[in-house]
A and B are shown apart, each in its own frame.
Chain A
Amino acid sequence: DAKTTQPTSMDCAEGRAANLPCNHSTISGNEYVYWYRQIHSQGPQYIIHGLKNNETNEMASLIITEDRKSSTLILPHATLRDTAVYYCIVMVPSGTYKYIFGTGTRLKVLA
Chain B
Amino acid sequence: GAVVSQHPSRVICKSGTSVKIECRSLDFQATTMFWYRQFPKQSLMLMATSNEGSKATYEQGVEKDKFLINHASLTLSTLTVTSAHPEDSSFYICSARDRGGAGNQPQHFGDGTRLSIL
Contacts and interface: CB of A to CB of B under 8 A. Distances in A.
A interface majority secondary structure: loop
A104 B107 contact: no
Contacts of B57: 96
A99 B107 contact: yes
Contacts of A42: 111-112
A49 interface: yes
A97 B97 contact: yes
Interface residues of A, number: 25
Contacts of B106: 34, 36, 46, 49
Contact of A44 (B45, B93, B97, B103): B93
Interface string A67-111: 000000000000000000001000001101111111110000000
Given A43-B112, A49-B104, A102 B43 contact: yes
Interface in B88-112: 91, 93, 95, 97, 102-112
Contact of A99 (B46, B102, B105, B110): B46
A43 B43 contact: no
Given A42-B111, A43-B93, A98 B46 contact: yes
Given A43-B111, A43-B112, A45-B109, A97 B43 contact: no
Nearest to A87: B43
Nearest to A44: B109
Tell me which of A41, A51, A103 has the highest count of chain B C-beta atoms within 10 A of its own C-beta: A41
A51 B106 CA distance: 13
A94 B104 CA distance: 8
A46 B108 CA distance: 7
A101 B42 CA distance: 10
Interface in A1-49: 2, 32, 34, 36, 38, 41-46, 49
A101 B4 CA distance: 19
Contacts of A97: 32, 97, 103, 107
Interface of B: 4, 6, 32, 34, 36, 43-46, 49, 57, 91, 93, 95, 97, 102-112, 114
